[in-house]
Amino acid sequence: MTYIPRDYWSICQRTGIKFRISELREEPTKDNPNSGLWVYSGALDPVHPQEYVRGVEDDPSVPLSFPDVPTVVGETTLVFDIPKYSRVVVIPHSSIAQYDPIGITMDDNVVFWDFVETYNEYSEPGWDVNGEIMYAEDGLWLGYSTAYDTIIISQDIWTLASAGNTVYLPSLDNEEWQ
């Protein structure tokens, strides 16, 4: 190392080792670029760039908002008993459409939710002499009825549902069901 005039010996304030003043640097801090600590350049602890990040106040308001639509569910009742593992539901005539959700209260008070797979307006299933639903070769045999609608849901019902049990239907004005 060559001689440098006025290059005095000094102590690194971080390590405590003796160095020439030309080898020391003033260490910066977040609040002050010159903190006053003189340290060896190899022991310099620079300020991390994340120290200068400042939070930005968020504006949570929206330019246009509407009140939430209350959930409205219509109710009706079952006209006939639904046997176990059936998919046929007969209700009084209502305004329901294919793919609408439907909730059927079972005899054990559990509500079975499913979707309407097929909807036959103004119809009810035909019954044989044993009280069983009649099926045609191409599907369910339906008779005309001005009071009832026959709904076929997408899943088999796992337990019994008696006539008079509550059936939950979507409301026409409810956006949740559309």
In one-letter notation, the amino acid at residue 146 is T
**Are 39 and 12 a contacting pair, CB within 8 Å?**
yes
Give the pLDDT of residue 81: 87
Q: Which residue in this structure is represented by tokens 């390590």?
A: 15
> Angle CA(18)–CA(24)–CA(26) in degrees, nearest 5?
130
Give the pLDDT of residue 71: 60
**Are 154 and 115 a contacting pair, CB within 8 Å?**
yes
Give the pLDDT of residue 137: 65
Give the pLDDT of residue 46: 79
Question: In the CATH scheme, what architecture does the domain 73-177 have?
Answer: Beta Barrel (2.40)
Give the pLDDT of residue 178: 45
In the chain, domain spans: 9-48, 73-177
What is the residue-level pLDDT of the chain in tens, covering all 178 positions?
677 888 889 999 888 999 998 899 888 877 777 777 888 988 888 788 888 888 889 888 888 887 766 666 778 888 888 888 888 888 888 878 888 888 999 999 899 999 888 888 888 888 777 777 777 766 777 888 888 888 888 888 888 898 899 898 875 444 454 4
